[in-house]
Chains A and B, each alone.
Chain A
């Protein structure tokens, strides 16, 4: 095993300088990877025999060696193993056998997921290497993906040290910051992340990327380190909505090892063309009060640009009961406490004031640990509120004839420093409700940090959501790679 920062093997430069202009057709302009820039392009090039998995692996190794000492996205990376796996993929391709739609595509994996041969660090400082892959990693491999390495999630819920490739003095978000930074710095074109509160879309947004938190149960949690069982969502971070759709189709679907997965075929890999311009409902209550003025102005600007492209943007007021969503979500922390109890008991330490510290900073200050004291009726009432709101919001969405709700991803752009990873308060409700939510980049702020908008639909409408986000990408454009990547080193 070799850490990314101690890797001594040198890769070869396979990339060409990026063109940094902003494209307005949703396609990437940089050609940082052999065979293209997006998952879709790279997979197509591999399938046509224009590029090999080995060439892609060397590009990954080169980028990680060059950039990860600065960005600190990876926790575990093994160049030798990556080359071996790429060589095996190339042997299969030479025999005309492509494993699947992702043959040769490099993907990074958040620490939360078991990857065979790598310890899942969150399981403890002495964790043994995982004996098998989590379901999603196994499905990625079966689709031909090249598992590039694991991305940082510190043990003990400390903020990750990962730097934002757009400004290395700023956080990349959390806790999937390593996943987002690995894509933003073009070390990989796709990453498997996870969101319990706002940990997938926030870093994706902070790093100027596309991100998807699918419907709860669309992606298996088997082999994923648990947080809140009913709020844990595996997620994707990449460059375009089309890439999300392709990878989602490869890994989604029922898993008998995870009884919460949806018994339905995975969404198709291609996105449906929208029959008309989208009708987008911009949420005008609850969320604006939680969002900074500058971010609200950015959302308004994005709204105007979408409208100028033909979108019908209407104001929406969510029902009054929606206001309970944040407090109700608090009580699901009992799931976290239940899971962690055995570890705490093993550690043998008594509960102290410090243990009662804020469990989910900035959502509210309710202590996760305090749910240990709350009668079970409150947990069940929280679950009933979830049921009620799922029905009420879904009905409202369809009554209004919407294609997506729209709001900001985060109250601010990526904060400076690494004491905090930003505020998940605008994302938590959708994690609580299990609704699919996605982020689309809407440009850069005045201080040159990415600004993201969030689009949401009711459960099991992930593919339709991605069709809307793709339309928005085409309208708003796609960011070029950050200067960290394109400037000569």
Chain B
């Protein structure tokens, strides 16, 4: 089981799910749950392709929502970070890890709440 939570098959690695094959019809199916990890299969079916292309391993209880706008709360951001820590790093969640993630969640909430004029672009130099 890969630690980054993704298994890719077929042409997905080369981005075909949004490329030559056009739009992708997705369907998720839960297969089993092991140690807080809910193993789901998300089939990305290119409309003009006969084979499934993407399998994603989904942490259980991953109902944390994260977005930039509308503003995310610290709790929402923390839930997101916790679920990502499990799926990305394969960590067992603990109070210590949650404590380490809390400041990042707070920073996410602050950035999310800040309104910046629409025409401001990120200067990358």
Q: Which residues of chain A have a CB within 8 Å of any CB of chain B?
A: 217, 230, 259-260, 321, 324, 327-328, 330-331, 350-351, 353, 356-357, 364-367, 370-375, 377-378, 380-388, 390-391
**Contact with B114, one of A259, A321, A372 (Cβ below 8 angstroms):** A321
B100 and A367 within 8 A (CB): yes
> B124 interface residue, CB < 8 Å from A?
yes
Hey, which chain A residues are within 8 Å of B68, CB to CB? 375, 377-378, 381
A370 and B104 within 8 A (CB): yes
> B34 interface residue, CB < 8 Å from A?
no
Say how far A339's CB is from chain B's closest CB, in angstroms.
16
Contacts A328-B111, A375-B68, A388-B117 supplied; 13 other A-B pairs, CB < 8 Å = A324-B110, A330-B107, A351-B89, A353-B100, A366-B103, A367-B104, A370-B100, A371-B104, A373-B80, A377-B68, A378-B112, A384-B122, A387-B121
A351 and B108 within 8 A (CB): no
Hey, which chain A residues are within 8 Å of B84, CB to CB? 373
Hey, which chain A residues are within 8 Å of B114, CB to CB? 321, 324, 381, 385
Q: Given contacts A327-B110, A327-B111, A390-B123, is CB(A353)–CB(B96) below 8 Å?
A: yes
Q: Given contacts A330-B107, A373-B85, is CB(A259)–CB(B100) below 8 Å?
A: no
B125 and A370 within 8 A (CB): no
Hey, which chain B residues are within 8 Å of A230, CB to CB? 124
A378 and B89 within 8 A (CB): no
A372 to B88, CA, bound (A): 9
Q: Given contacts A327-B107, A370-B104, A377-B68, is CB(A384)–CB(B116) below 8 Å?
A: yes
Q: Given contacts A356-B97, A388-B117, is CB(A327)–CB(B81) below 8 Å?
A: no
Hey, which chain A residues are within 8 Å of B117, CB to CB? 388
Say how far B52's CB is from chain A's closest CB, in angstroms.
26
10 A-B pairs closest in CB distance: A383-B122, A373-B84, A356-B100, A327-B107, A351-B89, A366-B103, A370-B104, A377-B68, A365-B103, A366-B104
A sample of 18 inter-chain contacts (CB < 8 A) reads A260-B125, A327-B106, A327-B107, A330-B107, A353-B97, A364-B106, A364-B107, A367-B100, A367-B104, A370-B81, A370-B101, A373-B80, A373-B85, A378-B68, A381-B68, A381-B112, A385-B111, A387-B122
Residue-by-residue, is B52-72 near A (CB-CB < 8 Å gives 1, otherwise 0)?
A: 000000000000001110000
A356 to B104, CA, bound (A): 11
Hey, which chain A residues are within 8 Å of B123, CB to CB? 383, 386-387, 390
**Contact with B122, one of A259, A353, A371, A380 (Cβ below 8 angstroms):** A380
Closest B residue to A366 using CB positions: B103
A330 to B104, CA, bound (A): 8
Hey, which chain A residues are within 8 Å of B18, CB to CB? none
A383 and B104 within 8 A (CB): no
Residue-by-residue, is B72-92 near A (CB-CB < 8 Å gives 1, otherwise 0)?
A: 000000001100110011110
**Contact with A350, one of B89, B96, B110 (Cβ below 8 angstroms):** B89
B103 and A367 within 8 A (CB): yes
Hey, which chain B residues are within 8 Å of A371, CB to CB? 104
